[in-house]
Amino acid sequence: MALKEIALKLDEGELPSQVVTLIQDADQRLDNLFETNRNRRVPRFLPSDPILLYRVLEHLTKNDLPPGKTFCEWGSGFGVGACLASLLGYKSYGLEIEKDLVELAKELASDLEIKVENLCASYFPEGYGSYPAQGGAELMVPEPDSHWEEATVVVPPYEGMDCDIDEIDLFYVYPWPGEQELMHDLFDAVAAEGAILIAYYGDKDIAAFRKIVDDDWE
């Protein structure tokens, strides 16, 4: 398999009122998190650019590029990305390992009446993980069930999610520095052919990739 970057042409028009309300509300809650020093309990939390993410989600959705309407945010934090996807009609999940952030994400979605499943879980399926390597982190994958050449690794579903990982059509992640390639590799390892990954790299740098068979590469 391989990842093929998708050309993005983003709308600069006025944002829908629900999106504006969501972003403003999330910003206020984020300010409160830092003002009260509650962020010390989640020191690795760093929000991405919600407006830019919405523009990308909107572009992909309007052009019918995802194969379906199931979305998953890896490392979802406040769950703003998952909320944005829900507003665009996706069945939306947020995966976050920090329990405090999961509770804040649930409060945000509930208060704004946005349907999202926020789960306290790692974005690494059972058996997967990472280990330090030169230049960043490397993906660790489980051994296949057999050693025949055509053997494949069965990817287990995320705990609490009522669909398999290969049924997720659109993923989003804001990887930490040094983990960009790790997230690409994880997506390539667990997502179905045709699924799309949106990756935000910071400082207005965002990209979208489709998982394709190597023979489809042009």
Q: Look-up: residue for tokens 């230049």?
A: 135
Residue 119 · residue 159 · CB < 8 Å:
yes
**Given this model, what pLDDT does residue 203 score?**
84
* pLDDT tens for each residue of 64-76: 999 999 999 999 9
**Given this model, what pLDDT does residue 82 score?**
98
Is residue 103 over pLDDT 70? yes
Instruction: Give the rounded distance of the alpha carbon of 81 from its chain centre.
Output: 8
Higher pLDDT, 37 or 99: 99
Q: CA angle 69-81-55, nearest 5°?
A: 80
Is residue 16 over pLDDT 70? yes
Domains of the chain with bracketed CATH:
1-6+49-126+137-142+152-213 (3.40.50.150)
Residue 39: left if φ>0, alpha if ψ -120 to 50, beta else—which one? alpha
* Model confidence, pTM: 0.90
Alpha helices in 112-209 (DSSP H): 180-190
Higher pLDDT, 56 or 135: 56
Higher pLDDT, 44 or 104: 104
Residue 206 · residue 200 · CB < 8 Å:
yes
Percent of the chain scoring above 90 in pLDDT: 71
Q: What is the DSSP letter of 143?
A: P
Collapsing DSSP to helix, strand or coil, 131 comes out as strand
CA atoms of 119 and 97, how far apart (whole Å): 8
Is residue 45 over pLDDT 80? no
Listed as own residue / partner, the contacts of 156-160 with beta carbons closer than 8 Å and 24 or more positions apart are: 156/125, 156/126, 156/127, 157/125, 158/93, 158/95, 158/119, 158/121, 158/125, 159/119, 159/121, 159/126, 160/117, 160/119, 160/121
**Given this model, what pLDDT does residue 124 score?**
95
**Given this model, what pLDDT does residue 40 score?**
54
CA atoms of 71 and 198, how far apart (whole Å): 11
* pLDDT tens for each residue of 189-200: 999 999 999 999
Of residues 12, 13, 19, 10, the one with CA closest to residue 50:
19
**Given this model, what pLDDT does residue 111 score?**
97
